Structure 1
Amino acid sequence: MHQVTREDVHHNRPVRQFHGKWPFVRLLGVQEPASVLFSLLNGAAVVVGYHRFSTSSPSDYHLHSVLHVELLVSVNTWLWSAVFHTRDVGWTEKMDYFSAALLIVCGLIVQFIRLSGRGALLWQCLYGAVWMGLFLLHVAYLSMSERFNYGYNMAVCVIAGTVYAVVWTAWSIKEWRRRHYVWKCVVAVLWGSCTVLLELLDFPPLLWAVDAHALWHLSTAPIPLLWYSFLTDDAKYEMTRHKKQV
Structure 2
Amino acid sequence: MRASVIISTYNSPLWLEKVLWGYSIQTVSDFEVIIADDGSTQDTKMMIEAISEKTQLSITHVWHKDEGFQKTMILNKAILASKTDYCIFTDGDCIPRMDFVETHLSHRSLGCFLSGGYFKLPISISKKISKNDILNQDCFDLKWLKKNGLGSSIKNLKLAKNDLILFAFNMLTPTKPSWNGHNSSTWKKDIISANGFNNDMKYGGEDREFGERLINAGMKARQIRFYAICVHLEHKRGYVNKDVLDKNKDIRLKTKIEKQTKTPNGIQEV
- More RCO (CA 8 Å, sep 6+): 1
Relative to the length of structure 2, the TM-score reads 0.26
Relative to the length of structure 1, the TM-score reads 0.28
The structure in which a higher percent of residues are strand is 2
Asked which structure has the greater CA Rg, the reply is 1
